[in-house]
Homo-oligomer: A and B are copies of this chain.
Amino acid sequence: MSLRRVTFAMSTRHFIYTLLVGLSLASFSLAADERPVKRAVGVVLFPGFEMLDACGPMEIWGNLKDQVTLITVAKSAGPVVTAQGVEMVAQKTFADCPKLDLLLVPGGFGVKKLIKDEETLIWLKQRSAQVEITMSVCNGATLLAAAGLLDGRPATTNKAYWKMATKPGPNVKWVTQARWVDDGNMVTSSGVSAGIDMTLHVVSSLFGQRTAERMADEIEHDWHRDPSWDPFAAKHGLK
């Protein structure tokens, strides 16, 4: 082997080595900064939250074990009573909740009291600013609106209690006919079971259509893929 060939072979090897290290570092940096390997999904619980608003989406997030870490968070850790009377456990407090990648706010009659609770509104504002996507189900949007997070943006909420749910958000562009509204980093869904359809939509955006279809099939859910599908708007006199 000539000296020239050896030099060439070495520099080629060096080039490939440098390339591989570079690529690996680049992908690591991408994974760490933009596309976390495992996303932390925080679900906010509060007394009187609507059980299915939280549990529908959590069923799906919790089944994505390789992609997601599911965290329930409340003002105080421990049992939190649902609007249906049974209790779910909040694993973390507002204070000790780790960094989140996705934030989910359910609704329920408990929202009425919470829209006046400064501690909750401030926490929601701070966390929402840090996550990729903030999601709400039902009048969870009322809470986001009260925190000023939906000002000037399109959003939806539950149809059965539309007037009450939209009142604390006079500057929100409320959409009456929508299963969910995707406004980039803010995705709001209609009432209760609509949260499942919205979650599948977000899963599809983050992990691809195939993953979302698999999740829907696994829980034998008839996924409404069209965000404008909403027979409940008319049923509640909103169309």
Asked if A111 is at the interface of the complex by the 8 Å CB criterion, the answer is no
- Residues of the B chain whose Cβ atoms lie less than 8 Å from the Cβ of A158: 220
Asked if A61 is at the interface of the complex by the 8 Å CB criterion, the answer is yes
Residue of B whose beta carbon sits closest to that of A81:
B89
- Residues of the B chain whose Cβ atoms lie less than 8 Å from the Cβ of A236: 217
Asked if A66 is at the interface of the complex by the 8 Å CB criterion, the answer is no
- Residues of the B chain whose Cβ atoms lie less than 8 Å from the Cβ of A191: 218-220
Nearest-neighbour CB distance to chain B for A34, whole angstroms, equals: 25
Asked if A166 is at the interface of the complex by the 8 Å CB criterion, the answer is no
- CB contact under 8 A between A160 and B218, given known A86-B70, A86-B89, A88-B86: yes
- Residues of the B chain whose Cβ atoms lie less than 8 Å from the Cβ of A59: 50-52, 55, 84, 192
- Contact-residue bracket for chain A: 35 or more
Cα–Cα distance between A231 and B173 once the two chains are bound (Å): 37
Cα–Cα distance between A235 and B223 once the two chains are bound (Å): 14
A222 touches B219 (CB 8 A): no
Residue of B whose beta carbon sits closest to that of A89:
B87
Nearest-neighbour CB distance to chain B for A164, whole angstroms, equals: 14
Nearest-neighbour CB distance to chain B for A196, whole angstroms, equals: 7
B192 touches A221 (CB 8 A): yes
Asked if A83 is at the interface of the complex by the 8 Å CB criterion, the answer is yes
Nearest-neighbour CB distance to chain B for A25, whole angstroms, equals: 32
Q: List 9 A-B contacts (CB under 8 A).
A: A58-B84, A70-B84, A70-B85, A70-B86, A86-B91, A158-B220, A192-B220, A217-B235, A217-B236
Chain A interface (Cβ within 8 Å of chain B)?
43, 50-52, 55-56, 58-59, 61-63, 70, 72, 79, 82-89, 91, 158-160, 190-194, 196, 217-222, 224, 231-232, 235-236
